[in-house]
Amino acid sequence: MTADVLVLAPEVLLALGAVLGLAVGTWLPPGREGAVRGIGVLGALAAVVAALGGPRGTAFGGTYLVDTATTVVRVVVAGAVVVTLVLAGDRPDVSGGPRSTPDVSGGPRLTADGGARVDTAFAVLLQLAAVGAMLLGGATDLLLLAAAVLLAGLPLAALAGLARDGRATEAALKYFLTSALFGLLALTGTTLLLGLAGATAYPALVGLTGPASAVGVVLVLAGLLMAAGAVPAHFWVPDAVDGTTPVTGAVLTTTAKIGALVAIWRLTVALPGLPTPLLVAILAVASMTLGNLAAFAQTSLRRLLAYSTISQVGYLLVPVAVARDTVLALPVLLGYLAAYAVTNLAVFAVLAARPQALEIGEQRGLARRHPGLAVALAVGLLGLVGTPPTVVFAGKLGVVAAALGGGAAWLGVVVVVNTIASLVYYLRWIAPVFSTGDPVLRDPVAPRARAVAVVLAVASVAGTVALAVTS
Amino acid sequence: MLTAMWVAPLVVALLLAPVTRREVLLGGWILLAVLEVVLAGVAWAGVGTGYAHEVVVAWIPAFGVGYHVGLDGLSAPLVGMTTLVFLAVALYSLRADPAQDGDTDPRRTRGWVLLFLGLEAVSVGVFVALDLVLFFVFFDVAIVFMYFVIAGWGSGARDAERSGAGSSTAARSALQFFLYTFVGSLVMLLGFLALAVSGPQLTFDIPTLAARPLGGTAGTLALVAIGVGLAIKTPVWPVHTWLPPAHTDAPAAGSAVLAAVLLKMGTYGFVRIALPLLPGPWRSLALVAVVLGVVSVLWGALVALAQRDLKRMVAYTSVNHMGYVLLALGAAGFVTAGPEARGLAVTGATVQMVSHGLVTGALFLLAGVLRERGGTSEIAAWSGVAGPMPRFSWTFAVAAFASLGLPGLSGFVAEFSMIAGSLPAVPVAAALAALGLAVTAALFVRALQSMLLGDRHLPRRAERVPPRTGTFRRPASVDLRVGQTVAVGLLLAASLAIGLAPALVTSTIAPAASTVVDLVSR
């Protein structure tokens, strides 16, 4: 039992941080809850250390497996928690000038309105969702998986509704209903597979074949696809991201996705008798194509990014689809996940630095006023395209190589075609940033968010070089 | 050595990033450019047979990606040409204003210098890369940098900003350039991947891949993908349409680098990757290359003849000149011809890359001078220039003659070798391509005649007081300034040196070219 807890140390540390934060936050005056975020950051950093240095192996009777994949999920998720907590405690610096109204363009503030401990709630919910995401990544038992889907999903629904205005409520409701529906489907699938195999542990499922078990796997997959935000369970993503602050949007599009994609990979590999890869491949193509096509016409940057993340999930599903055919699949999937997390957070950090400008038109002339932020944004967006020398380029290269190596050359071609298509809307954002905008008297910028954006952008370039050092 | 060559500009860029004084920025840039030329010369001197200054380090071993750089007879002259062109561009920018219209904001100067330092780094990188992924990384980043050069400093960019109009013609041209070449590069990447996964072991290493040539349908598909990507960059008819607007709207220095260096990435890719790595498919598709090459030669020449704008005209002659390269490389795929002739064709193609870089770089810088002084590079707007602008006239005449292939200058060496080398393999095509020579000769002589000779007639802006360019110096005439003369003179001197003593470059290129021919013959 003690050994089990030791194996689960990162999750435990993160959960401890959440509980401690909740306890401390209750005693702090509303609106001055910075300490809670501090506790959360410490908990997440401790989780990173524990994940890197902790023991590997199985825990709790083989329901939870700690291997390289789980370690990567833990480190990336905990890192994302640190980044988003730093971002969350930041406001644009408007002192000494006419006060801008951050609420104008739908960016509700996270500070306390009327005594609510919003900051505490944000930090605690974020950490709980992160624990859920980690469990998703390591679960090797269907029951634990179903529980993890709920644990990763429900806190996010509450997060989305924190701002308590009309759009945020809609976002939260939409997320909650979708997550409940697909969570239910996942549970149904679990039941069905339990009935067919007599057990829920992955090793017991190896021999499953036939249409009934295929239906069961599809149902379980549905729950995971929802958490990952992939087609056909993607429709919550744009509304939820567009209805909340950039920081919450960053959380919604990062944590759960990472765990869910590794979970899909585990499920695909665990059931060799079923044609899951074909389904995953079709969903991958649908995700990247739909996400890209829908992103074309967006003028709201959060919506545009939301659709962009849907297409990114499509790319991420490609290595999963060839997981049985090539040894490249797992390193590519994990590498792309980490690269995606860094790049996506960098772009959201740029948004968070100027929460008053969330429309494409409001980006004009950014390069003149805040060159550092503009370069970070350009690096981040070109990174999402997959331009060298960013890390996503290495990831995308690996994705296409895995597709070709796994005998699915058509998937590789689809990835390249979609990348070309995605170029259009990312450039639509970059172009106004580097044009001269209308003269603006004040363009306040959140200092910490800007620093985070620049650091992540540098990391996304340096990561490519680091590949040589680490390997 | 080679790593230092492409990292040095980036280091200087980092050092210059916090600087805002124009003098320091430009001074640092020129020092670096001189250093690069010296390094290129030293590196070139060390080239024998095989790869010199080779470095192999694992980079992403999981995908078989390595950091592999090396210099051989094909890349050394191109690296030398690249560093020389960047030095010329740095000198050209010395007193001239980057934006050509009194742009004195030091932050813009800094952006300009940093972009060009980045461009120099990746341009050198492309030519020394011996790994497909490394090649692609440099290739792609060059596109991104060039996009910002054209969009930020192109013609009309400043006017559009002042009037508040959303996008200038430069922004549109830049976008067209970016989309076209970026799409091409991705298609090329697909071909690279097909090559990498072809063997038992995943690898992107060029020498390793050359040892296991890919044939069959997979090879043909890979060659088509790589060929399309490189052809867009080169550019070859019919995918050349991004080139004229990009050149017309780019600032003079950007045009010079685009024509001299970036286009070579396409043709160099053919020699370095398409021919040695895919010999079988190249032989079977050689006729396609020959036909596209001849069409580019004639099309480029004829369309250039119809241009009224000097920059546009030079842009179309680039299509013409690159057509010869493709023709010669296609001829190298015909095994029926002897290895000597085919080696001559490949040598000529490489000399043409160097020569075109030097000469066209000079021509674009000269056209930029016209833009700067008179606000226009329309051929009809200038006449009788020889009187007021003697230095311009001399250099322009030399550059034009070098471009049309006058003996004694580098263009002649290149075009003679290419056509002589192609003649045994594809006599009809070579004869047709020789017709292109006559057309380019006609158009350059016509431009010389109408601009340099005749009654003096300059645009009104050039007749007025020339624009102030520094706080303490005001040029007395509309002619080339010292920095500009040195810049253009350097390029033309190199062209003259190659023309008078071809062995300077051919002694390095010829062994490497015969290696390529041997590889294609497998």
Summarize pLDDT for B234-257 with one digit per residue, the tens. Answer: 888 888 888 888 888 888 888 899
Please indicate, yes or no, whether residues A152 and A263 belong to a single structural domain of this protein: yes
Q: Is A115 a residue whose pLDDT tops 70?
A: no
For residue B86, CA distances in Å to A217, B322, B351, B499 come to 60, 21, 19, 21
Please indicate, yes or no, whether residues A355 and A392 belong to a single structural domain of this protein: yes
Mean pLDDT of chain A: 84
The pLDDT of residue A157 is 87
Stretch A151-175: mean pLDDT, rounded? 85
Stretch A78-91: mean pLDDT, rounded? 86
Identify the residue with better confidence: A438 or B151. B151
Q: How far is B137 from chain A (nearest CA, A)?
A: 5
Stretch B130-155: mean pLDDT, rounded? 87
Per-residue b or e along A269-286, where b marks 16 or more CB atoms closer than 10 Å to that residue's CB: bbbeebebbebbbebbbb
Please indicate, yes or no, whether residues A353 and A423 belong to a single structural domain of this protein: yes
For residue B176, CA distances in Å to A324, B172, B246, B362 come to 41, 6, 8, 25
Nearest Cα residue to B283 out of B248, B335, B232, B322: B335
CB-CB contact of A85 with A448 (8 Å): no
Q: Say whether A406 sits in a helix, a strand or coil.
A: coil
Residue B45 CB: number of other CB atoms within 10 A?
Answer: 10
Q: Say whether B309 sits in a helix, a strand or coil.
A: strand
CA dihedral B210, B215, B217, B221 (to 10 degrees): 30
Stretch B316-335: mean pLDDT, rounded? 90
Does residue B266 sit within a domain?
A: yes
Q: Is B82 a residue whose pLDDT tops 90?
A: yes
For residue B308, CA distances in Å to A287, B371, B390, B451 come to 49, 14, 23, 12
Range with the largest mean pLDDT of A50-54, A285-289, A443-447, B43-47: A285-289
Please indicate, yes or no, whether residues A177 and A190 belong to a single structural domain of this protein: yes
Q: Is A94 a residue whose pLDDT tops 70?
A: no
The pLDDT of residue A310 is 92
Confidence class for position A397, pLDDT limits 50, 70, 90: confident
**Token couple for B460:** 């009104």
CB-CB contact of A419 with A385 (8 Å): yes
Residues on chain A touching B137 (C-beta within 8 angstroms) = 388-389, 393
Q: How far is A452 from chain B (nearest CA, A)?
A: 20
**Token couple for A125:** 């919910």
Stretch B379-391: mean pLDDT, rounded? 84
Stretch A405-426: mean pLDDT, rounded? 86
The pLDDT of residue A220 is 92
The pLDDT of residue A77 is 93
Range with the largest mean pLDDT of A260-269, A392-401, A454-463: A260-269
The pLDDT of residue B86 is 92
A239, A273, A307 - which closes a domain: A273
Angle between helix B410-422 and B390-404 (nearest 10)? 10
Residues on chain A touching B189 (C-beta within 8 angstroms) = 397, 400, 416
**Token couple for A336:** 């792309």
Residue with tokens 């007599």: A198
The pLDDT of residue A78 is 93
**Token couple for A21:** 């934060």
The pLDDT of residue B293 is 92
Q: Is A96 a residue whose pLDDT tops 70?
A: no
The pLDDT of residue B166 is 47
Q: How far is B184 from chain A (nearest CA, A)?
A: 10
Is the minimum CB–CB distance between B189 and chain A shorter than 8 Å? yes
Q: Is B458 a residue whose pLDDT tops 60?
A: yes
CB-CB contact of B508 with B47 (8 Å): yes
Per-residue b or e along A329-363, where b marks 16 or more CB atoms closer than 10 Å to that residue's CB: bbbbbbbbbbbbbbbbbbbbbbbbbbbbbbebebb
Identify the residue with better confidence: A368 or B438. B438
The pLDDT of residue A439 is 63
Find the range with the poorest average confidence among A16-25, B183-192, B353-362, B472-481.
B472-481
Is the minimum CB–CB distance between A104 and chain B shorter than 8 Å? no
Stretch B124-142: mean pLDDT, rounded? 91
**Token couple for B180:** 């076209």
Stretch A431-456: mean pLDDT, rounded? 78
Q: Is B173 a residue whose pLDDT tops 90?
A: no
Is the minimum CB–CB distance between B55 and chain A shorter than 8 Å? no
Stretch B9-18: mean pLDDT, rounded? 87
Query: By CA distance, what is B136's nearest residue in A?
Result: A388
The pLDDT of residue A73 is 92
Confidence class for position A91, pLDDT limits 50, 70, 90: low
Q: Is B139 a residue whose pLDDT tops 70?
A: yes
Residues on chain B touching A438 (C-beta within 8 angstroms) = 164
CA A293 to chain centre: 21
Q: Say whether A188 sits in a helix, a strand or coil.
A: helix
Does residue B375 sit within a domain?
A: yes
Stretch B166-193: mean pLDDT, rounded? 82
The pLDDT of residue B379 is 85
CA distance B6 to B11: 9
Is the minimum CB–CB distance between A397 and chain B shorter than 8 Å? yes
Does residue B470 sit within a domain?
A: no
Please indicate, yes or no, whether residues A314 and A387 belong to a single structural domain of this protein: yes
The pLDDT of residue B164 is 46
DSSP string, A299-326: -BHHHHHHHHHHHHHHHHHHHHHTTTT-
Angle B76-B179-B378 from CA coordinates, rounded to 5°: 80
Does residue A381 sit within a domain?
A: yes
Please indicate, yes or no, whether residues A51 and A75 belong to a single structural domain of this protein: yes
Is the minimum CB–CB distance between B190 and chain A shorter than 8 Å? yes
Q: Where are the alpha helices (DSSP H) in B164-274?
A: 169-196, 206-211, 216-233, 243-249, 252-257, 263-269
Q: What domain range is B398 assigned to?
A: 2-461+475-521
Q: Count structural domains, chain A.
A: 2
The pLDDT of residue B324 is 92
Angle between helix A329-353 and A68-88 (nearest 10)? 0
Query: By CA distance, what is B142's nearest residue in A?
Result: A388
Contact B60 A400 (CB under 8 A): no
Q: Is B85 a residue whose pLDDT tops 90?
A: yes
Q: Is A109 a residue whose pLDDT tops 50?
A: no
Q: Count structural domains, chain B.
A: 1
The pLDDT of residue A104 is 37
Stretch B288-297: mean pLDDT, rounded? 92
Residues on chain A touching B186 (C-beta within 8 angstroms) = 416, 419-420
Q: Is B43 a residue whose pLDDT tops 60?
A: yes
The pLDDT of residue A26 is 84
Please indicate, yes or no, whether residues A240 and A331 belong to a single structural domain of this protein: no
CA distance A395 to B65: 12
Is the minimum CB–CB distance between A435 and chain B shorter than 8 Å? yes
For residue A300, CA distances in Å to A338, A425, B130, B445 come to 26, 12, 43, 55
Nearest Cα residue to A263 out of A320, A301, A210: A320
The pLDDT of residue B197 is 82
Q: What are phi and psi of A139, to 5 degrees?
A: -65, 130
The pLDDT of residue B101 is 44
Contact A434 B61 (CB under 8 A): no
Contact B144 A434 (CB under 8 A): no
Please indicate, yes or no, whether residues A470 and A328 belong to a single structural domain of this protein: yes
Strand partners, A139: A64
- In this prediction the ipTM stands at 0.78
Find the range with the poorest average confidence among A69-73, A102-106, A326-330.
A102-106
Q: What domain range is A41 assigned to?
A: 1-90+112-273
Contact A401 B137 (CB under 8 A): no
Find the range with the poorest average confidence among A110-119, A160-169, A185-194, B41-50.
A110-119
Please indicate, yes or no, whether residues A335 and A435 belong to a single structural domain of this protein: yes
Confidence class for position A6, pLDDT limits 50, 70, 90: confident
Residues 303-362 of A with CB under 8 A from B: 328, 331-332, 335
CA distance B421 to B376: 40
Q: Is B162 a residue whose pLDDT tops 80?
A: no
Stretch A195-205: mean pLDDT, rounded? 87
CA distance A193 to B512: 64
Q: Is A464 a residue whose pLDDT tops 90?
A: no
Does residue B469 sit within a domain?
A: no
The pLDDT of residue A99 is 39
Confidence class for position B468, pLDDT limits 50, 70, 90: low
The pLDDT of residue B167 is 54
A273, A288, A315 - which closes a domain: A273
Confidence class for position B100, pLDDT limits 50, 70, 90: very low
Amino acid at the residue B463: E
The proportion of chain B whose per-residue pLDDT surpasses 70, expressed as a percent, equals 92
The pLDDT of residue A386 is 84
pLDDT in tens, A317-352: 999 999 888 888 888 899 899 999 999 999 999 888
Q: Is A444 a residue whose pLDDT tops 90?
A: no
Confidence class for position A134, pLDDT limits 50, 70, 90: very high
**Token couple for B513:** 């070219």
Please indicate, yes or no, whether residues A226 and A321 belong to a single structural domain of this protein: no
Mean pLDDT of chain B: 85
Q: What are phi and psi of A438, to 5 degrees?
A: -70, 150
Q: What are phi and psi of B242, to 5 degrees?
A: -75, -25
Q: Is A171 a residue whose pLDDT tops 60?
A: yes
Q: Is B83 a residue whose pLDDT tops 90?
A: yes
Residues on chain B touching A400 (C-beta within 8 angstroms) = 189-190, 193
Question: Parallel, antiparallel, or unpaired: how do β-strands B52-60 and B65-71 relate?
Answer: antiparallel
The pLDDT of residue A284 is 92
Residue A194 CB: number of other CB atoms within 10 A?
Answer: 16
Q: Is B460 a residue whose pLDDT tops 80?
A: no
* Residues 6+ away with beta carbon under 8 Å from B282: B223, B274, B275, B289, B333, B520
Please indicate, yes or no, whether residues A246 and A364 belong to a single structural domain of this protein: no
Please indicate, yes or no, whether residues A283 and A402 belong to a single structural domain of this protein: yes
Q: Is B355 a residue whose pLDDT tops 90?
A: yes
Q: Is A69 a residue whose pLDDT tops 50?
A: yes
A233, A258, A273 - which closes a domain: A273
Residues 416-435 of B with CB under 8 A from A: none
The pLDDT of residue A231 is 83
Residue with tokens 């205005």: A165
CB-CB contact of B365 with B88 (8 Å): yes
pLDDT in tens, A27-45: 888 777 788 888 889 999 9
pLDDT in tens, B409-439: 888 889 989 999 898 888 888 889 888 889 9
Q: How far is A85 from chain B (nearest CA, A)?
A: 31
Residue of B56, B60, B161 for testing the chain A interface, max A β-carbons within 10 Å: B60
The pLDDT of residue B118 is 92
